[in-house]
Chains A and B, each alone.
Chain A
Amino acid sequence: MSGFGNAFSSSIGKKFIMGATGIFLVLFLIVHCGINALIFLDDQGLTFNIGAHFMATNWIIRAGEVILMLGLLVHIFQALRLTLQNNKARPVKYAVNDGKANSKWYSRSMGLLGTLLLIFLVVHLKDFWVVSRFTGIPSVDANGHEDLYAVMRDKFQDPVRVAVYLLAMVSLCYHLLHGFASAFQTMGWNHSKYNGIIKSVGVWYSIIISIVFAAMPLAFHFGLIK
């Protein structure tokens, strides 16, 4: 590592790590969202369960999962470190600070949004990941696959849980609205000809991903899919 000097410990290096893990998580969300969206096929979750089964058993995916968890932890750890450091960079705060005049509230609240997402993640992982990986899914579907679909259906009958998920998706949307374009900027991928595209892809990505995710608990809760 010596040849790389302070490549990762410097301010920009730390941000590279944030950006890179961020982009990795953005990509993960596409896969996660894509497979989960199979529930909308309205086939009692048969296709979805095939996908879920594949994700749970394929060794490449399992290995990826480890990397994902690491990526997530690094993202969180690095964010904490940066936040602490940033707080130290301004020990005396302003009496009046008109942040809204020059930036978006969610850009200034990434830490808060991230914390909300972290709390949600604990709930979410307990709801599904722990069940599918450790405690076991109680039933099987018509194809004989573990019926994760049924687990989802059951869980989302609880209105409190649905509300928590919806709130989390709002947080996710705003986290992504800033995070997507920000990751590109951090990595230095800024080009006058492509900036517009990156920006609008980022906005659409954030909105679509969040809406599709949010639609899942809602669809189950209101019985739009059975």
Chain B
Amino acid sequence: MSTGNMNLTLKVWRQKNNKTTGALVDYKLADISPDMSFLEMFDVLNEQLINKGEEPVVFDHDCREGICGMCSMFINGRPHGPKDLVTTCQLHMRSFKDGDTIVVEPWRAAAFPVVKDLTVDRSAFDRVIAAGGFISVNTGNAQDANNLPIPKMQADAAFEAAACIGCGACVATCKNASAMLFVSAKISQLALLPQGQPERYRRVQSMVAQMDAEGFGNCTNTGACEAECPKGISLENIARMNRDFASAKFVSEETV
């Protein structure tokens, strides 16, 4: 079914479930087209495995257009592979060479336990958002949208922070498995907007507390998260979160 001429060796992490240990397993692939996406290359592998009567590699993926944040492969030592600003599903085989060996591992973090093969459990992110990543406005509470002008620069900055797709590449690549880029992006988005002000200091305290409870590591400002983020989320957000956290703890009278 393949149409290309690339030959590859894959070393893929296989792990039956979270109760067993896993290992890297070698697979040979032939006739891969450079126009295939990385996940389509995995489709080819899986089709081969199924035809041979083996179990296919389980990996998370859904939209395959770089926005849902579900795909999550650690490829040759980098989350989402060698290209900057793309997710695994948007990585194409033309970024590799004929004869390459490609090592594919799941995200590794205590807070992201492996579920099976390359699939991990990222529900920790949801719990961090549930702890405060919102503005408390019930449906029907809203005033007319244009009653609240927001400077374009601020709105744009909030949008840039909101572009986070929650894929977890920041955690995966951080040497400390820290989630601060993810958490700070949501805190920043809401801190930059006037709508987010009433809960600003409460939010940062609750979300950081939940982040800590999930067992993520601490930020040591290596900047790897920013470099690997497929959406280019900036480290500025972490500084903003830290600033807000300081204000919350030492200036605001509200303790959470």
Interface residues of A (CB under 8 A from B): 3-7, 10-16, 82, 85-86, 88-99, 101-104, 107-108, 110, 178, 181-182, 185-190, 192
User: Residue on B with the closest CB to A13?
Assistant: B249
User: Residue on A with the closest CB to B245?
Assistant: A12
Q: Are B78 and A101 in contact (CB under 8 A)?
A: yes
Q: Are A192 and B236 in contact (CB under 8 A)?
A: yes
5 further contact pairs, Cβ within 8 A, besides A11-B208, A98-B77, A178-B221: A5-B255, A13-B245, A90-B109, A101-B82, A107-B220
A-B contact pairs, 16 of them (CB 8 A): A3-B255, A5-B256, A6-B212, A82-B176, A85-B218, A88-B217, A94-B105, A95-B24, A96-B77, A98-B77, A102-B173, A102-B224, A185-B235, A187-B242, A190-B236, A190-B239
Give the shortest distance, in Å, between A194 (CB) and chain B (any CB): 11
Residues of B within 8 A of A95 (CB): 11, 13, 24, 103, 105
Minimum-distance CB pairs A-B, first 8: A188-B243, A98-B77, A190-B239, A89-B217, A102-B227, A86-B176, A7-B249, A89-B177
Instruction: Name B's interface SS.
Output: mixed
Give the shortest distance, in Å, between A53 (CB) and chain B (any CB): 39
Residues of A within 8 A of B227 (CB): 101-103
With A98-B77, A99-B175, A104-B222 known to touch, is A89 a contact of B239 (CB < 8 Å)?
no
Give the shortest distance, in Å, between B23 (CB) and chain A (any CB): 10
Give the shortest distance, in Å, between B116 (CB) and chain A (any CB): 15
Question: What are the interface flags for B237-253 relative to A under an 8 Å C-beta threshold, 1 for contact and 0 otherwise?
Answer: 01111111110011000
Residues of A within 8 A of B221 (CB): 107, 178, 181-182, 185-186
Which chain B residues (26-81) contact chain A, with CB distance < 8 Å? Answer: 74, 76-78
Please pick, from A15, A104, A190, A192, the residue contacting B219 in the complex, using a CB distance under 8 A. Answer: A15
